[in-house]
Structure 1
Amino acid sequence: MTGGPEAASGPELLRRRVARIVLLDPDDRILLLHGYEPKDPDLTWWFTPGGGLEGGETREEAALRELAEETGITEVDLGPVLWKRYCSFPFDGRRWDQDEWYYLARTRGTEPAPRPQALTELETRSLAGLRWWTSAELSAARETVYPTRLAELLQALLDEGPPRAPVVLAPEIV
């Protein structure tokens, strides 16, 4: 979740460029992080690893850096961009406006080892853990998951493979 928002000119919103990873293991399980609102720990959700671009890094570089920081997983085969979306949500006392790209990645390793020293102070205050989910578990989940259609998107990915061009998802504004 690191990386600051880009300054926009005039009355436009600040929009943060974000790279996320749809990380699949050899059994086609997806790795999700469990987060919560620092000011209200009962407000929780699951989401894919990733975060904002830093300095002059590319989205691919940001995706791999964030994956390593948040999960400790570095041995991955990075694939294509699957989905793009705009989202806006309140978190930790401010509004976050994000332009997110979701990359497919595969790993043979299934033992995440997050690096607490690599997490930002905000990540330390808002991450509760992570776990692998099967498509069936994700479809049956009653917990909040972002993007909200992730179960359906994952099933389509597993059934049909990656799309020929990134799918633009409907904006999510909370």
Structure 2
Amino acid sequence: MTQARLPPPGTVVRRTTARVLPVRPDGKVLLLHGWDPLKPQTPYWFTIGGGVEAGETVAQAGSRELREEVGILLPAEQLGDPVATNTIEYEWGGCPIIQHQTFFAVGVDTVEVSFANQEELELATISAHGWWLPDELEATGQAAHITIPGLLRQAIETIRYREAC
């Protein structure tokens, strides 16, 4: 059923994504727990976000993904300036993916996470959400990519700096 949404295995997918790192006052960052649909036995923690659609700015995509994936409503203009960008390569659903990512950090207080607006493939491959400190996530070895703990650190520093000003 979820295979209908995936490109044929082996297809190289190049994508531009917006990622959002919600940071609580205690310094914990909201992440999602999920897996590759072809490797459900190997779950990992990853950042909220997804592809930039035609006609969208990166910030608009970040705002939309935040709403769709976890139910947080935040206008694009409130995401602020990006805190990081990078390009990673990985495999998902049998396809090599080259993904350019732009990360935003947002300070949040209490958040009620909702998966109600997720797409079918997301619902089939995301099982939970969690609030993480970078060192704790790093110690688990379950970050989807080696860069994620460092990105959490950048997000926390950015939010602390913004709140101090």
Normalising by structure 1, report the TM-score: 0.74
**Structure 1 equivalent of residue 16 of structure 2:** 17
CA distance in 2, matches of 1:96, 1:87: 8
SS of 1:67's equivalent in the other structure is helix
Note the C-alpha offset of 1:27.
1.7
**Structure 1 equivalent of residue 153 of structure 2:** 155
Does the 8 Å CA contact 1:139/1:152 hold for their aligned counterparts? no
**Structure 1 equivalent of residue 83 of structure 2:** 82
CA distance in 2, matches of 1:155, 1:40: 28
The number of residue pairs the alignment matches comes to: 147
In structure 2, what residue type is equivalent to 1:16? Answer: R
CA distance in 1, matches of 2:145, 2:85: 10
In structure 2, stretches of 5+ residues that fail to align are: 6-11, 160-165
**Structure 2 equivalent of residue 134 of structure 1:** 133
Note the C-alpha offset of 1:16.
0.8
Does the 8 Å CA contact 1:30/1:133 hold for their aligned counterparts? yes
Note the C-alpha offset of 1:109.
2.4
In structure 1, stretches of 5+ residues that fail to align are: 5-12, 163-174
**Structure 2 equivalent of residue 97 of structure 1:** 98
Alignment of 1:50-129 (within 5 A): 50-75=49-74, 77-115=78-116, 118-129=117-128
Q: Deviations over 1:90-143 (max 9, x none)?
A: 11122222111011111122321122xx32232122111111112442243232
Calculate percent identity across the aligned residue pairs. 31
Note the C-alpha offset of 1:148.
1.1
CA 1:157 to 1:16, structure 2 compared with 1: closer, same or farther past 3 Å? closer
Q: Deviations over 1:6-39 (max 9, x none)?
A: xxxxxxx652110001110122210000111212
Does the 8 Å CA contact 1:75/1:109 hold for their aligned counterparts? no
CA distance in 1, matches of 2:138, 2:90: 23
Structure showing the higher helix proportion among its residues: 2
SS of 2:110's equivalent in the other structure is coil
Normalising by structure 2, report the TM-score: 0.77
Instruction: Quote the RMSD (CA, aligned, Å).
Output: 2.3
CA 1:153 to 1:19, structure 2 compared with 1: closer, same or farther past 3 Å? closer
SS of 2:111's equivalent in the other structure is coil
